[in-house]
Amino acid sequence: MPVVQFAPFSSLVQPGFWHELTRLKIDVLRLSDESLTVSGSYSVGRSIRDRETGQDVALGCNLVLGAAAFEQPLQVPPMSVTMHGVFKNYNTVEEFKAADKATTFNNVANDIWQSIVESRDTSKLTQFLLLTFSDLKKYQYYYWFAFPAFVAKPAWEISTEGWRAADHELGASQLSSIFESLHAQTKPFFLVNLTGDTAEVHSIERADTYFASDAPDSTIVGFLDPSASPDNPGWPLRNLLMYLQTLYPSKTSSVRVLCWRDGELPVGGRSWKSRFGIVTGGAGQPNAKPTAVGWERHPATNKLAARMADLAPMMDPTRLVDQAV
């Protein structure tokens, strides 16, 4: 059976974030390089239909940081969820390069691991790490994201049927009731309990109740999926599966997974975009903290490297004058 391959997060930083960082750096942080908490958000994976070819084009699996990232709590629209991150800005490019990235990364991974084994809390399962260096005079911002996720050994596998459209498994009325519930209160992770034609959405923390029930097939593990790729569930599922495997080792040799991707109800004969699959895992409870991966690769080179946002064309007053007519 094929190994489940998760679509990694891609960071999308709005110019507003860099403007806010510039303001903070000059007015508040100055030379401090303490870590701060920032918030980003991700929404259900989106695809749009190309009018010329009729194909659906998947848009990325984006974590978005905007101008409000330093505000707590972040306001997000329905079908989007907040993700917190550790933010560290370095004062010089040398410090940025020399930073002990492995340790910083492990600290975040440890935090996630603690939230699983100690507080049994899913709110910290997805976290990111953002390292930056801002060259304020040149309006250039160097940055590197990491999205720590635990590596399951052996890896999770998808049943031979693969990932299928969710309406193969669930009825339209069940999907609609999941939609209504998530639209009213969007959760990054949830449990779906099926009874007849209806589906109830519960928080993952109540897995005790539902995993213990007599009809294991009536319980589905769901998550808000930022990926739109048909065969790759999004990154958050990775830590969710690790959470379930660690806390409910006897119940999770096979997990029914719903990748929720419907931001709105399907209109005009379009089908549901959510995917469903049965994921099987290996041997029970890991004893120690598994290794974590998740540094973002540079999108142009696909290497593990920092990225740079060059905002000079949109921020440098002299450049703006040049193009003004």
Partner 1 sequence: MHAIQQQYWAFRDYISPVLKESKFKEHGRITPEEFVAAGDFLTYKFPVWQWEKGDTSKARDYLPADKQYLVTRGVACLRRAQSLAYTDADEDAERLLSFDDSSSGLTDEWVETHAGRKGTVDSAANPGEIDDIPDLDGDHDQITTAMGNVSLTSSAGATMGETPDLDDIPDMEEEDLEAGDDEATAAPPPKAGVLSSGGVIDASQVEAAKGNLLQVRTYDVMITYDKYYQTPRIWLIGYDENRNPLTPAQIFQDVSADHALKTVTIEAFPHSTSLQAASVHPCKHASVMKKVIERMNTGVEEQLAARKKDGSSKDSNSKKKWAFGRKSSKEDSKDKNLATEEDEQPEAMRVDFYLVVFLKFIASIVPTIEVDSTTSF
**Which parts of 52-81 interact with partner 1 (CB under 8 A)?**
52-53, 55-60, 62, 64, 67, 77-78
Q: Which residues contact 273 (CB under 8 A, 6 or more apart)?
A: 44, 45, 47, 165, 228, 261, 262, 266
CA dihedral (260, 266, 271, 272) in degrees, to 10, reads 10
Q: Is 152 in the site for partner 1 (CB under 8 A)?
A: yes
Report d(CA 122, CA 236) in Å as an integer.
Answer: 11
Stretch that binds partner 1, among 43-51, 112-120, 166-174, 198-206 (CB under 8 A): 43-51
Stretch that binds partner 1, among 5-13, 84-92, 109-117, 279-287 (CB under 8 A): 5-13
Stretch that binds partner 1, among 208-216, 243-251, 252-260, 301-309 (CB under 8 A): 301-309
Q: Is 29 in the site for partner 1 (CB under 8 A)?
A: no
Q: Give whichever of 180 and 264 is closer to partner 1, judged by the CB atom.
A: 264
Q: Give whichever of 57 and 215 is closer to partner 1, judged by the CB atom.
A: 57
* Cα atoms found within 13 Å of the Cα of residue 226, Cβ hemisphere only: 27
Report d(CA 22, CA 207) in Å as an integer.
Answer: 44
Stretch that binds partner 1, among 98-106, 168-176, 185-193, 282-290 (CB under 8 A): 98-106
DSSP state of 213: S
Report d(CA 52, CA 74) in Å as an integer.
Answer: 38
Q: How far is the CB of 28 from partner 1 (least distance, A)?
A: 14
Q: Give whichever of 3 and 215 is closer to partner 1, judged by the CB atom.
A: 3
Q: Is 321 in the site for partner 1 (CB under 8 A)?
A: yes
Q: How far is the CB of 115 from partner 1 (least distance, A)?
A: 21
Q: Is 134 in the site for partner 1 (CB under 8 A)?
A: no
By CB under 8 A, the residues from 187 to 216 that bind partner 1 are none
CA 97 to each of CA 12, 93, 193, 270, 293: distance values in angstroms, whole numbers, following the listed order: 22, 6, 48, 48, 19
Q: How far is the CB of 16 from partner 1 (least distance, A)?
A: 6
Q: Is 110 in the site for partner 1 (CB under 8 A)?
A: no
**How many CB atoms are located within 10 Å of the residue 35 CB?**
16
Q: Is 298 in the site for partner 1 (CB under 8 A)?
A: yes
User: Are 316 and 139 contacting, i.e. CB atoms less than 8 angstroms apart?
Assistant: yes
Q: Is 305 in the site for partner 1 (CB under 8 A)?
A: yes
| Region of 25 on the Ramachandran plot (φ > 0 left; ψ -120 to 50 alpha; else beta) | alpha
DSSP state of 118: T
User: Are 127 and 113 contacting, i.e. CB atoms less than 8 angstroms apart?
Assistant: no
Q: Is 282 in the site for partner 1 (CB under 8 A)?
A: no
Q: Is 36 in the site for partner 1 (CB under 8 A)?
A: no
By CB under 8 A, the residues from 222 to 261 that bind partner 1 are 228-232, 238
Q: Give whichever of 151 and 283 is closer to partner 1, judged by the CB atom.
A: 151
Q: Is 168 in the site for partner 1 (CB under 8 A)?
A: no
Q: Which residues contact 185 (CB under 8 A, 6 or more apart)?
A: none
3-state secondary structure of 227: coil
Stretch that binds partner 1, among 9-17, 106-114, 120-128, 202-210 (CB under 8 A): 9-17
Q: Is 297 in the site for partner 1 (CB under 8 A)?
A: yes
